[in-house]
Structure formats: C-alpha cells, structure tokens
Amino acid sequence: MARVKFLCDADRCIECNACVTACKNEHEVPWGINRRRVVTINDGKPGERSVSMACMHCTDAPCAAVCPVSCFYTTADGVVLHSKDLCIGCGYCFYACPFGAPQYPKVGNFGSRGKMDKCTYCAGGPEADATPAEYAKYGTNRLAEGKLPICAEMCSTKSLLAGDGAIIAEIYKERVMKRGYGSGMWGWKTAYSDSPTG
C-alpha cells in the first residue's frame, strides 16, 4: 500500500485559492470552515511565498494522540480520518495540531463547538464508501472512486501534489534540481519525521 501525502511546492503556488474553492465545493463544507487554505508568508516583501495547507495526515498524528474519546483512525493508505459520531467537540485536536487543520462549526453561542471537521484527503469517513450518510458528514469519497484529492487534481500550476509520498517527494526533488531552488517541503518535517515518538 502506498503512504499518501500532500506536498505544496511553494515556488509554484500563485495563490489563486482554487484548491480552497474546489475543496469547499466538492464536499459542501459548512459555512465558516475551510479544510484547505492558502497562507502567504512575507506578503509584499521580496521572496514572498504562498503555501496551500490542510491536514497533513501526519505519521503518529497529534490529534489522534490527544483525542479524549479516541475518534481518529489512520487508514491503510496513511490517511488520518475521524468519526463525527464519536467526536464531542472538545477542541483538543485543534490545540495539538501543528497545522490548524481541525475546525468546528459554531453551533449556537454556548458550548460553541460542534463536531470537528477537517480535510479527509477526499477519503470520507468510517461510514460505508460513497453513501449519502458518508457524504453528509465528510463529503465526497474520491479515493474510493480511484481519484486523488480534488485540490491537487485541479491545481493549475501543479504546485499542490497528492499521492504516494515517495513519488511526490521524488517529483519535487527533480523540480528543485532542475530549477536550482526550492523553499522546502512545507510541513513535512513537522508531519512525517519530527514527531515526538518517531
């Protein structure tokens, strides 16, 4: 089995926000929640870079480690998913996540966090694949249809890559070799190699 990952080649990202929009549209993401966003570092200065960021589907995921009800699980492909039936909306995954991926719909003014929502790598949730119940809670299960996440699939500059971690890392390294520069594999150190328990 492949170990799937995201990789954003910031030297190619033009901050068009199409990945953000495509994600929201594909999954009917609730108002106020963005499973993916584009952050511009050093905006307006020479050498600014934009990075498209979502859940990185970490190895040894911090969200899963701190969840009080253990609602997270990792698929055979390395995708970190969660059960909205188990989630109690406590906010712990948001505190622990290095990438700010978990978000909560505001349900009323009091106890104001609903069930957590985050990027599913277009892989749905614990429900049976491609069912209306799965779609309503987690959005489209493109992985079950043999497709990659919509954000990476429609990226106009092929800045955002999704797929087998070894293959996309190789593609990125080839690009860096050819053009002679690269601002880094954003988030990889934090998500895949630098976690406290290895």
Residues of this chain that bind other proteins (CB under 8 A)? 10-11, 15, 17, 20, 32, 34, 37-43, 46-51, 53, 62, 65-71, 85-92, 94-100, 103, 106, 110-113, 179-181, 183-187, 189-190, 195-196
Q: What is the smallest separation between the CB atom of 180 and other proteins, expressed in angstroms?
A: 7
Distance CA 197, CA 50 (A): 30
Min CB(26)–other proteins separation in Å: 17
- For other proteins, the closer of residues 71 and 152 by Cβ is 71
Minimum CB separation of residue 147 from other proteins in Å reads 25
CB under 8 Å to 179, separation ≥6 — which residues?
11
Categorise residue 112: left if φ over 0, alpha if ψ from -120 to 50, beta otherwise.
alpha
Biggest CA pair distance of the chain: 54
Q: Which is nearer to other proteins, 6 or 186 (CB)?
A: 186
Whole-number Cα distances in Å, 103 to 49, 80, 89, 117: 24, 15, 9, 5
Comparison of 3 and 37: residue with beta carbon closer to other proteins: 37
